[in-house]
Amino acid sequence: MSAHLHGTFVKGCYRCDLSRDEMTAQITEEAEEERWLRTRMVDILKRTAAALKGEPEPEMMHDWADLPDVAIRLRAERDQARAELTYRWAEEN
């Protein structure tokens, strides 16, 4: 097989066509992987928002930008409630 010497795409060159087809297949595969990942992340964010904020109104979605703040606030509230219960239990016993 002869060397593939030109550095740019040449129409009709078998090696260029092969490279183009390989690149197209790779780009298509990467796009499908990215689409799958995006769909998965949207699902995770929707379920996380519903778990932290409750189910949204029909035809509505929760904002996701504040999810870390909501989680931090809820954890702090849980820790405070736990501390109060522990204190009350200690006083009663």
What pLDDT was estimated at residue 10?
Answer: 74
Degrees to nearest 5, angle at CA 58 with 32 and 62: 60
What's the whole-model pTM score?
A: 0.66
Domain coordinates of the chain in residue numbers?
A: 1-62, 63-93
- How far is it, in rounded angstroms, from Cα 36 to Cα 58? 25
Q: Helices 14-53 and 67-92 sit at what angle, rounded to 10 degrees?
A: 40
> Mean pLDDT per segment of 10 residues, for the chain of length 93 residues?
68 72 85 97 97 94 96 97 92 84
What pLDDT was estimated at residue 26?
Answer: 83
Residues 6+ apart with CB under 8 A from 64: 45, 48, 49
